């Protein structure tokens, strides 16, 4: 076993969302089970019991380890708890993936990504993704999405190419020891349940690689994954409070220089320039 997957599992208790969330889970875990590496560390943040989740995932063919107790502690804390568990219980594991409920995976989708990481000094890498709008990222092409899973996976295979593009998407595969060295998601600063956690980690990797390298995250297009990007948590109450907490935490952690570096990582993103302007005024 070289790789363990991680996921903060959030199932809405709202009846309007509950059934659709379960359908997402079925497609996600059934597709994940088609690969050799089936071990996944789950942080339960939703309305299902740990026993129900365990039985459900096993029925799909996935090997789960369940953490949490259904309380929504947020993305950074859930992810970091999964990382800590792997570092402590599986110190020999070379790679950790971050997956989401709204993803569908071709068989052994991670194999080209692991090969890429094994032959480079990159700390992490993403595949290309197909979004719910039909966009092939990071290429920018648009396609019609098949309704059935098998047709979707066949479509993803047609776009595979031996190319590396700068960019960042989920899912992500990390080199476990480097992720540990940069600290993962530092919840001393990321006190909100969501927002800017990826940016915090990207800056950690940038400083690990050295700013002189002008490092930016990479997508290796020898693998494509479907990621709907439905943002399950974007309709939760107090969302803006959580984003504000993590924005302030990001600034405390990395300061103005970090915001400048994020503009570089995200190709001169205007959003980080606006945050920097606000920070400087304050």
For residue range 148-207, list pLDDT tens digits in order.
Answer: 999 999 999 999 999 999 999 999 999 999 999 999 999 999 999 999 999 999 999 999
pLDDT of residue 235: 59
Q: Say how many C-beta atoms besides its own lie within 10 A of residue 276's C-beta.
A: 19
Q: 145: which 2 tokens?
A: 């999405």
What domains can you pick out in the chain, each with its CATH number? 3-281 (3.90.550.10)
138 preceded by cis ω (within 30°)? yes
Residue pair 218/166 in contact by the 8 Å Cβ criterion: yes
CA distance 205 to 182: 7
For residue range 56-109, list pLDDT tens digits in order.
Answer: 999 999 999 999 999 999 999 999 999 999 999 999 999 999 999 999 999 999
Q: Say how many C-beta atoms besides its own lie within 10 A of residue 224's C-beta.
A: 26
Q: 266: which 2 tokens?
A: 């995200």
Question: What's the sign of the alpha-carbon dihedral 169, 170, 176, 182?
Answer: positive
Going by their DSSP bridges, the two strands 3-9 and 95-98 should be labelled as: parallel
Split at pLDDT 50, 70, 90, the class of 30 is: very high
pTM for the predicted model, two decimal places:
0.94
Mean pLDDT, all residues of the chain: 93
For residue range 42-68, list pLDDT tens digits in order.
Answer: 999 988 999 999 999 999 999 999 999
Q: Say how many C-beta atoms besides its own lie within 10 A of residue 280's C-beta.
A: 9
CA distance 4 to 82: 10
Residue 281 has pLDDT above 90, yes or no: no
For residue range 179-195, list pLDDT tens digits in order.
Answer: 999 999 999 999 999 99
CA dihedral 174, 178, 183, 184 (to 10 degrees): 0
CA distance 50 to 28: 18
Going by their DSSP bridges, the two strands 135-137 and 141-142 should be labelled as: antiparallel
CA distance 254 to 113: 29
Residue pair 78/192 in contact by the 8 Å Cβ criterion: no
Q: 252: which 2 tokens?
A: 């405390």
Largest separation between any pair of C-alpha atoms in the chain: 55
CA distance 71 to 237: 15
Residue 233 has pLDDT above 80, yes or no: no
């Amino acid at each position: 076993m070289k790789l363990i997957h991680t996921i903060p599992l959030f199932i809405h208790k709202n009846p309007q969302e509950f059934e659709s969330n379960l359908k997402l889970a079925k497609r996600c875990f059934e597709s994940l089970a088609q690969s050799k590496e089936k071990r996944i560390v789950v942080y339960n943040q939703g309305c299902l019991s740990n026993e129900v989740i365990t039985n459900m995932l096993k029925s799909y063919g996935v090997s789960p380890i369940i953490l949490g107790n259904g309380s929504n502690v947020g993305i950074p804390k859930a992810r970091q708890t999964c990382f800590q568990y792997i570092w402590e219980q599986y110190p020999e594991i070379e790679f950790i993936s971050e997956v989401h409920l709204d993803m569908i995976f071709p068989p052994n989708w991670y194999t080209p990504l692991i090969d890429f990481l094994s032959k480079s000094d990159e700390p992490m890498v993403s595949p290309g993704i197909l979004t719910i709008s039909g966009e092939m990222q990071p290429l920018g092409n648009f396609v019609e999405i098949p309704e059935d899973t098998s047709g979707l996976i066949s479509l993803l295979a047609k776009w595979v190419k031996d190319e590396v593009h700068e960019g960042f998407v989920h899912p992500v595969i990390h080199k476990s020891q480097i992720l540990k060295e940069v600290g993962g998601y530092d919840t001393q600063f990321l006190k909100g349940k969501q927002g800017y956690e990826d940016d915090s980690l990207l800056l950690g990797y940038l400083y690990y690689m050295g700013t002189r390298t002008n490092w930016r995250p990479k997508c290796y297009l020898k693998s494509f994954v479907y990621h709907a990007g439905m943002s399950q948590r974007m309709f939760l109450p107090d969302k803006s409070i959580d984003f504000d907490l993590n924005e302030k935490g990001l600034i405390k952690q990395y300061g103005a220089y970090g915001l400048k570096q994020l503009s570089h990582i995200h190709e001169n993103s205007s959003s980080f320039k606006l945050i920097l302007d606000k920070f400087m005024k304050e």
